Structure 1
Amino acid sequence: MKARSDVERNGGQILMQQLRIQGVRRLFMVPGESYLPCIDALNEHVDAIQAVVCRQESGAAYMAEAYGKLTGEPGICFVTRGPGATNASIGVHTAFQDSTPMILFIGQVGNDFYEREAFQEIDYRRMFGQMAKWVAQIDRTDRIPEYIARAFAVATSGRPGPVVLALPEDTLWGRAVVEDLPRYQRALSHPGVGDMTRLKTLLDEAERPFLLVGGSGWTQDAVERISAFAQRFELPVGTAWRRLECFNQRHPNAAGHVGWGMTDELRNRILDADLILAVGTRLGEATTLGYTLVESPRPRQKLVHVYPDSAELGRVFMPTQAIVAGVAGFAQALEPLQPGHAVPRGAAVQEAHAQYLDSLRALDFPGPMSLDAAAGHLGRSLPDDACLTVGAGNYALYLHRYRSFNGLGTSLAPTVGSMGYGLPAAISAKLEHPDRIVVCGAGDGCFQMNMQELGVAMQYRLGIVVLVFNNGMWGTIRAHQEREFPARPIALDFENPDFTQVVRAYGGLGIAVEKTEDFPAALDRALAFAQTENLPALLEIRYDADGIAPGETLSAIRAAALARAAG
C-alpha cells in the first residue's frame, strides 16, 4: 500500500491506516469514548479490517490472544481507559505467559489532564510493566506510525508476547502530515553450524532421549520437519502442557501430553531419559510437575534447550546445551542431520506410542454420566481439523486426555490456566476458520466468567458448540481442599442457572445430558444445529461431582488425606 506523506489526518486515521499496512484483518473491541477517532476511522477500512464488537473487555482480549495463537500475527484489541484496561488485563497476562503476539490499545486521558487522577486515569506503564514485553504511551500524533511499527516488531520477535500502547485523546484528535511506514519484518533466529554439530553428537551418544515440543511460533513446515527428524533419530515425542497442537498425536512417535494429568508411564519415561531435547517450550511449572520432572536448577537428564530468547536459556535450568533459535529456524536446520546412534531406539518409540494409545481407553467414572466416555466419543468423532478450546479447570483434563490432536489450529488452551478463556477463544477460532467445527469445553464456573460473549456468536452467526460441565462447584479447588483439609469443604458450592435456557435466549440450541448413552446423539444434534443454523449450540453435562479427574474421585482423595493425617 502506497505511503501517504502529503495528506493531513487525525491520529485515529493515521493509526488505522498503519494497522491495515501491517496486515491486520480483524480486531476485537469494546467501544469507548476515549478512542472515538479510531472507531470513526474504521469506516475507511471496512473492506479490509473486521471490527468484532465484544460484550466485555476480558472476552475481547481473550479473542485477540486466540487470534495470535492461530495466526502467529499479533492479535489486536481496543479497549477504553480505566475499567476497560483492567478488564482486559487478564488477556495480556495470558498472552505473556503463553508467549502469544498481541497488541492492546487503550484509550487514555489527554495530556492536558494527565497525572491529575482524571476520570478513569491509570498509569499503564506501571500497571502492565511486568506482564507485557513493552508498554508505551503515544504522546505525539506524528509518531504514531513509528510506535505501531515497533509494536509489531516487539510482539513477534524473540519470545513473542503482548505489547500495550496507551492513546491519549489529544494524540488521537490531533492532526499531522506524516508518512506511513511499511509492513514490519519478523526477525527470525537460526542455530549455528556448531550448534547442530554438538546436538548431533549428544543425540548419537544418548540411549534414552526424549523430544519435548511446545511454545509458540510453530508453522506447518516446522511441524512436518520436526516429525521427520523424530522418525530419523528414533525419538519419542511429548507435547508440553496445553500445547497439544504442536505435534500430531497420531504420529507413530507421539508419546502424549506432558504435565499435570500425564500418565505414570510417560512421567517415568521422562524421568528415566538420559537426554531431553526441549524445543520451543519454556519448561514451565505445569510441564515439569513443579520442577520435579525436569529439576531446577540442574536437571538430572542432559538438557538441550532450544528457545528463541537468550534471556530464557539458563534462567531456570542449566542446560547441557543452549541453542538460541525459533522453532521454524531450528526445524529447518535439522533437515540435513542424519543419525549415527549405536543403540537402537525404535522399540522405545513403539512402546511409548503404544502406552499413549492405551491411555485413550476410558477409565471408570462414578454415576450415570461418564466424562471419560463422553470425552472419548468426542475425541474420536470430531474431524481432524476441528478446534477444541478450553479455559481452566479439571474438566479440561478429560478433553485433552481423550482427543488425539492433529496439529496447528486444533487446540486453544491457556497455559496460564485462566478461566473464561474457552468461549472467546472458540469465537475467535470460528471467525478465523468458519468452515471448521469448533467446540468449546468449559466448567460451570469457567463458562460463567464470559458467557455474555454468546452475544458475539449470535451477532456474527457463529455456529460453535459449547460443552458446559456442570458439577455445581469450583471442582479443582475442591480437590486441593480435600488434599490439604480433608472432609472440611466450605465456600466452594454454587447454584447454577439452567444453561440450556441461557443459550436459547441467544437464539441457540440447549440440551441437558445426564446419561452417558445420551451423549452421542446430543452431540450429533448440536453439531448439526451449529452447522446449519450458524448459531451456538450448548450441551449442559450434568454429572456426579465425585468424579474430579481421569481415574480420580474426591472421596478417594479425601480418604487418602485422612489416612495420612492419622499416621
Structure 2
Amino acid sequence: MNQPIQHKSAGHAIVETLESHGVKRVYVIPGESYLDVLDGLHDSSIETVVCRHEGGAAYMAEADGKLLDVPGVAMVTRGPGAANAHVGLHTAWQDSTAMVLFVGLIPFEHREKEAFQEFDPKQWFESGAKRVMVLDHPNRASEIVAEAMFAASAGRPGPVVVGLPEDVIKEIVDTPIHPQIPVATGGMTVTDWKSLRDSLLESERPLFVTGGNDWTDEAARELTKWLEEHSLPAAVEWRCEGIVPFDSPSYVGPLGYGRPNFSNGLMEDTDLIVFVGTVPGDVITSGFTGRQNWNQRNFIVTIDTSLRGRSGPISHQITAKPVSFVRDLVRMDLPMRDSWRDWTEGLRKSQEEWSALPPAEPSEGQAKMATLMANLVERLPEDAMITFGAGEHTNWAHRYFPTRQYASMISARNGSMGYSIPSAVAASLNYPGRVVVSIAGDGEFLMNGQELATAAQYGATPLVIVMDNQEYGTIRTHQESDYPGRVSGTQLKNPDFAKFAEAFGGVGIRVEKDADVPAAVEKALATVTEDKKFALIHLIVEQRIKAF
C-alpha cells in the first residue's frame, strides 16, 4: 500500500520515521544545528531525554541498543558535540551494538569554508562505524533514517552515523514516510544442522559459549532449556552474563578478564566449542593465545560472514543470528550422554564454589566490598539488573551478581570507563519496575557522574555503589607488575560522593566502617524501591598504599 504524501519539514520527517520504527526514547544534547528535529520531537510520542554530556548521551543510546530490539538513538551537535559522542560509537563498534547517532552539521552552503564547528563526518567516523551518511537531499530524509536503522541492525550490529545539515532539515518535503526495511536473521541449513549434530555426538566434552547483544529473552530461555535437557555446559563471553542464567545447572561461568582459575584451561580441555553470538576474540582467547590449534573443533554461529575479531580454528560457520540458530537448534534431539553430564556437573560445581557469596557478617575495621556484595545480593529481587563500566571494581559484579535473564548485565566490553552511570540511567528508564544496580570505581564515576542529574530529571532510580580506593586501580595493578614500587600517575584525591548524590536530588550514604555496610544497603534499597529516588553508597575501602 502506498504511504500518504504529507508536506512537512525534513526534520519532522526524520522524527516520524523514528516513531514508525518503534523508537520510544532518544538521548540528546541540544544544538542549533538540528533545531528542526528538536521541534519535531516536541509533539512526538518519543521521549526526549536531555543529557549533561554527549558522552553520556551516546552511552545511554548504546545501552538502549543492548536492552531493546531497536537501535538506540542519540542526537548531538556538530564539531565538539560529535567529538564528545565518539566514545559511545567505539563502545557500540567493539560491543556489536545497534545504535544510530544523529549529528547536526553546518549549513550545506557553508561547507568547505572552515565554518564554525565544521568537520567532515565521514573522515571522523568511517573507521569506527558501519555506515556514515549525510542528508544532502531533503526528500531523502525518511529514506536515510530507515536505511540507518536497517544498517545498525543488519548483519553484525553496530553504530551508524547520520549527518544532518542545518539548512537541509528545514526544507519542506513531499515524500511519504519510508517503511521499515526487514533484517535477515539467517538460520541453519540442512548441512549446518547435520554437521553440528554429528560433531556433538562425537564429542566427549562439548562447550557452548554465548555472547553478544543480538539476543531476545525468549531465545535465551529456549537455549537454556535445551542445554539443561541435554546436560550440556555453557560459558559466557566477558560481560555478557545472563544469557544462560546464573543459577542454571548448565551455566559454568565467564570467559574473560577476571575469569575464575578453573576456567583458565577450559578452552583447551574441551574437544568442541560452539560459539553463539560471538567469536573467539582477544579477551576470550587471552590475547589470541588460547584455542589456536587448528586440530581443535570450533563452530561459530554469527550472521557476520567476515568473522571480524575472531582468531584460531574454524571447523564450521553457521550464518545466523542467535534467535534463528536457537529456533533451529531446539529441534535437535540428542541422546543423553553420561560423559556430558559428568563434564557439566564438574564444571558447574567449580562455578558454584567460585561464586559462593562471602560472609554477610561485617568484620572489624574498614568497609569491604565483599561485605557489601553479600548483603546486597541476598536482598535483590529475581529480576535485578547490573550495569558497570571498566576497572577492578567490576570483578565483584562478574563473580557474585545473580544474572537470571537476558539483558540483566549491561556493560562495555571495550573497557570504556564512564559507562556505569549513563547505562544505569538508560536501564532504569526502560525498566522502571526493576532494581538497577550500578557499580562504579572512584576513577570511573566522575567521568559521567553528572548524569545523575539526568536520572533525577526523568525519574530514573538506580542504586549506585562507588567503590573508593583513591586510585585508578586496574592501571595501578599493571604498574605494580611492570614497575614495582614506582607508583606514578594513578593516585586520586576524591570528594564526598554521598554529598554529590544529595546535591543532585538523590540519597547519598557514606560508609567507612564495615559494620555500617548492612544498614547502608538496606537504606539504599528502600530508597530506590519505596521512595522512588536514586541512591548512592560511597564505600571507602582500603588502598594498597597511602596516597596522601
Give TM-score scaled by structure 1 length: 0.92
Contact 2:281/2:310 (<8 A) preserved: no
1:127 is aligned, of 118, 124, 128, to 124
Which of these residues, 485, 494, 506, is aligned with residue 487 of structure 1?
Answer: 485
Tell me how many residue pairs correspond in the alignment: 543
Residue number among 331, 350, 363 corresponding to 1:336 in the alignment: 331
Q: What is the Cα deviation at residue 372 of structure 1? A: 2.5
Q: Tell me if 1:81 matches 2:78.
A: yes
- Cα separation, partners in 2 of 1:367 and 1:306, compared to 1, 3 Å: farther
| CA distance, structure 2, for counterparts of residue 423 and residue 331 of structure 1 | 33
Native 8 Å contact 1:378 1:403 kept in 2? no
Whether the aligned pair in 2 keeps the contact of 1:362 and 1:373 (CA below 8 Å) is no
* Residue ranges of structure 1 left out of the alignment (5+ in a row): 548-553, 555-567
> What 5-or-longer segments of structure 2 have no aligned partner?
none
Match of 2:517 in 1: 519
State the shift of 1:521 in Å: 1.5
C-alpha distance in 2, partners of 1:313/1:76?
24
Query: Residue 285 of structure 2 aligns to a residue in which SS?
Result: coil
* CA distance in structure 1 between the partners assigned to 2:54 and 2:308 by the alignment: 34
CA distance in structure 2 between the aligned counterparts of 1:217 and 1:201, rounded to whole angstroms: 27
Alignment partner of 2:232: what SS? coil
Partner of 2:42: 43
Residue 448 of structure 1 aligns to a residue whose secondary structure is helix
Separation in structure 2 between the aligned mates of residue 287 and residue 313 of structure 1, nearest angstrom: 14
Query: Aligned-pair distance for 1:260?
Result: 1.1
Alignment of 1:81-160 (within 5 A): 81-160=78-157
Could you give the per-residue CA deviations for residues 399-422 of structure 1, whole angstroms, max 9, x where no partner exists?
Answer: 210112111131111111101101
Give the Cα–Cα distance (whole angstroms) in 2 for the partners of residues 418 and 357 of structure 1: 29
Task: Report the alpha carbon displacement of residue 259 of structure 1 after superposing the two structures with TM.
Answer: 1.0
Mapped to 1, the partners of 2:205 and 2:145 lie a distance apart of: 47
Aligned residue among 296, 307, 316 for 2:302: 307
Cα 1:130–1:443, aligned 2, differ >3 Å: closer, same or farther?
A: same
Q: Which moved more, 1:514-523 or 1:503-512?
A: 514-523
Q: Say which SS state the counterpart of residue 163 (structure 1) adopts.
A: strand
Q: Which residue of 2 aligns with 1:3?
A: 3
Distance in 1 between the 2:235 and 2:476 partners?
29
1:83 Cα deviation after fit: 0.6
For 1:529, the equivalent position in structure 2 comes to: 527
Q: RMSD of aligned C-alpha atoms?
A: 2.0
Q: Which among 347, 356, 361 is matched to residue 351 of structure 2?
A: 356
1:35-82 deviation line (CA, Å, top 9, x unaligned):
00011111221xx21000000000001111111101121001000001
- Is the contact between residue 305 and residue 313 of structure 1 (CA under 8 Å) also seen in structure 2? no
- Contact 1:240–1:283 at 8 Å: present in 2 too? no
Q: Which residue of 1 aligns with 2:268?
A: 271
Matches within 5 A, 1:461-480: 461-480=459-478
**CA separation of 1:503 and 1:251: change in aligned 2, threshold 3 A:** same
Q: Please say which of residues 137-146 and 227-236 is displaced more in the overlay.
A: 227-236
Q: State the alpha-carbon separation in 2 of the partners of residues 309 and 411 from structure 1.
A: 24
Matched, 1:445 2:440: no
Distance in 2 (CA, whole Å) between partners of 1:216 and 1:54 is 24
Of 382, 386, 389, the residue aligned with 2:387 is 389
Quote how far apart the aligned CAs of 1:367 are. 6.1
Structure 2 vs 1, CA of residues 274 and 11 (structure 1 numbering), >3 Å: closer, same or farther?
same
Q: Alpha-carbon deviation of 1:378?
A: 2.3
How far the C-alpha of 1:362 sits from its partner, in A, is: 4.9
Corresponding residue for residue 22 of structure 2: 23
Does the CA contact (< 8 Å) of 1:203 and 1:341 recur in 2?
A: no
1:318 corresponding residue in structure 2: 313
The percentage of counterpart residues that share the same residue type is 36
How far off is 1:25 after superposition? 0.8
- Counterparts of 2:66 and 2:119 in 1: how far apart (Å)? 29
Report which stretch shifted further, 24-33 or 519-528. Answer: 519-528
Matched, 1:368 2:366: yes
Q: CA offsets per residue over residues 131-153 of structure 1, 9 Å max, x none?
A: 11100101010011111111111
Length-normalised TM-score, structure 2: 0.95
For 1:428 and 1:342, locate their aligned partners in 2 and report how far apart those are by CA, in whole Å.
44
Deviates most, 300-309 or 22-31: 300-309
Render the CA deviation track for 1:342-365: whole Å, top value 9, x for unaligned: 662211111111111101235699
1:522–1:342 distance in 2 versus 1, CA, 3 Å: closer
